[in-house]
Amino acid sequence: MGKHPLSLAIRNVSKRYANGVQALDNVSLDIPPGMYGLLGPNGAGKSTLMRTLATLQEPDAGQVFLGDIDVVHQKEAVRETLGYLPQEFGVYPKASAEELLDYFAVLKGITNRAVRRETIEALLKQTNLWDKRRQKLGGFSGGMKQRFGVAVALLGNPQLLIVDEPTAGLDPAERVRFLNLLSALGENSVVILSTHIVADVAELCTHMAIINQGRILLEAAPLEAVAALQGRIWRKLTDKQTLPALEQEHRVISAKLLSGRTLVHVYSPEMPGNGFEPVEPDLEDVYFSALTGCLGPAAQQPKAEEVAL
């Protein structure tokens, strides 16, 4: 554990797939040690970026450095200090947690049996699975499988831990347990949490980026991003039929059904009138403001109607 935590520098990374999809478009990020949230809708490019950082695919252009390690050209050096929990983490249903972790530990190069036994015990205790160590993985719940995935990812004390959409499909209690486990890990390494669930980032991450259509829309500390929206978010309870008219007049960032009616949030530096009331912003407002172009680089572009005038 005595190593200094490394930070990750991503510079102008682009990736286009053979089917023409531009998955990453000139992405640059600085990711410090601790918990970092990469937030964006499905298909935004999160998994492509995670796979690139995990050395599973190469970018078409750009550079990535983990400390002094060139991630694109020194894959073996990265893998020695990498833990990766992919979105679809398959397990072997007939093996027990203890057996499979032992197998992965051997693959990681932990050949001394006593050291391995000690490591496995520590990891199963850390992920709260020690009591289930002899149970077959086929009988594990979703949350237990995810925590087992983290145990595997933590073999060899990685300095870069990548976790892709880990809470999708977990029940609320398992989700809390899983997030608590992750937050304890951010003290010694870079932990990147890729998710489309805003609350995961709000609860855990000290830094974050919002990505959509392969581009970074916003890079910020969640608390600062929320504070910057003070006095700019307004809400109104309305009916579904009036929504199109409101969208013509205001920058609607989100509309949610609430007991049969529609709760609309709009972005506006001044009071919009029209029956809107101010609302205390949260990270979801930051997320939707970024996605709708009210924040970040897109907000600097003049609007089409302004250009036409």
Domain limits of the chain? 8-220, 230-308
Architecture of domain 8-220: 3-Layer(aba) Sandwich (3.40)
pTM of the model: 0.87
Who contacts 306 (Cβ-Cβ below 8 Å, separation ≥6)? none
Instruction: Report the SS3 class of residue 233.
Output: strand
- Confirm if 71 and 55 have CB atoms less than 8 A apart: yes
What's the start-to-end Cα distance of the chain, in Å?
61
Q: According to the model, what pLDDT value does residue 3 have?
A: 59
200 token code pair: 């995961």
CA geometry: angle at 175 spanning 210 and 177, to 5°? 120
Q: According to the model, what pLDDT value does residue 221 have?
A: 95
Residue with tokens 């980026």: 209
Q: Which of 87, 84, 81 is nearest to 7 (CA)?
A: 81
Q: According to the model, what pLDDT value does residue 173 have?
A: 87
Q: According to the model, what pLDDT value does residue 299 have?
A: 58
Ranges under pLDDT 70 in the chain = 1-3, 296-309
